[in-house]
Amino acid sequence: MYSRSIPGNAASTVNTIPDGSCEPCRSPVRNSRPTSAAFLQILNLHRAEFPSAQPPIAPPVPQPNVATFLAPREQQALAGIGMFQRKARAEAKQRARLAAEADTQRWLIQVNGERDRYQWELNQQWQRLRGNDPEVVLPVLAEAFEDNEAPAVPVALNDSEVSLVILAPGPDFVPERFPSVLRQATSL
C-alpha cells in the first residue's frame, strides 16, 4: 500500500500493482478533463455571483393619444348635423374636443391609480423579500437558479440561510481522481 497526497489536500490510499502502476491509473480514462471541469463547476455552484436585488418599479403610464378619444366623440357630436351647417359643426367639434380632453384626463387618473396600486403591491413584496419571508424568497431564488448548469431548488429558509437541493449527476459522473501530469517514477 502506498499513500500520496492528491489535489485538495485529501489523503488517498492506492493499491500498487507489481508493474509499478496503481489501480486507479489502470482504469480507463473517459473524457476526464471535461468531466472534472463539470464536476468542479457543480462543486462551486453555490459560489455563483448574482447581481444585487433592486426594488421593483412599476412601468410609467404612457401618454395617451387624444385622437383616440376624439374620434368617437366627434362622430357622436356630428350625428344629425348636416354637411352645410358649418357653424353648428364647428361648435359640435369644439364640444367633442373638450369632451375628449376630459376623457383623456379621466383615463390618466384611472391608469395612474392602477399604477400606484401596482407599485404599492411591488413595495409590499419588496419588504417581504427584505424581511426573508419564505413565501416570497423561495420563489425568487428558484427563478435565480433556473438557468444553472445543475438544477437547483431552494427548499427552506431559516433567518438568512437558505437550504438548496441541487440535482447533480450520479456517482458514475464523479471522477476517481482528477487528471494531472505525473512524473514517471525511476527504478532504484
Tell which wins on pLDDT, 155 or 4: 155
Confidence of residue 12 (pLDDT cuts 50, 70, 90): very low
Residues 6 or more apart whose CB falls under 8 angstroms from that of 34 comprise: none
Check: pTM over 0.75? Answer yes or no: no
pLDDT at position 93: 92
Confidence of residue 156 (pLDDT cuts 50, 70, 90): confident
pLDDT at position 46: 64
Give the whole-angstrom CA distance, residue 57 versus residue 158.
Answer: 28
Beta bridge partners of 156: 163
pLDDT digits (tens, 9 = 90+) for 14-58: 344 444 444 444 444 444 455 667 767 767 766 767 678 899 999
Rounded to whole angstroms, what are the CA distances from 140 to 130, 136, 172? Answer: 12, 7, 32
Confidence of residue 168 (pLDDT cuts 50, 70, 90): confident
- Identity of residue 42: I
Alpha helices in 60-148 (DSSP H): 66-78, 86-130, 134-144
Tell which wins on pLDDT, 145 or 74: 74
Task: Identify whether the C-beta of residue 153 lies closer than 8 Å to the C-beta of residue 144.
Answer: no
Confidence of residue 186 (pLDDT cuts 50, 70, 90): low
CB half-sphere exposure, 22, CA atoms < 13 A: 15
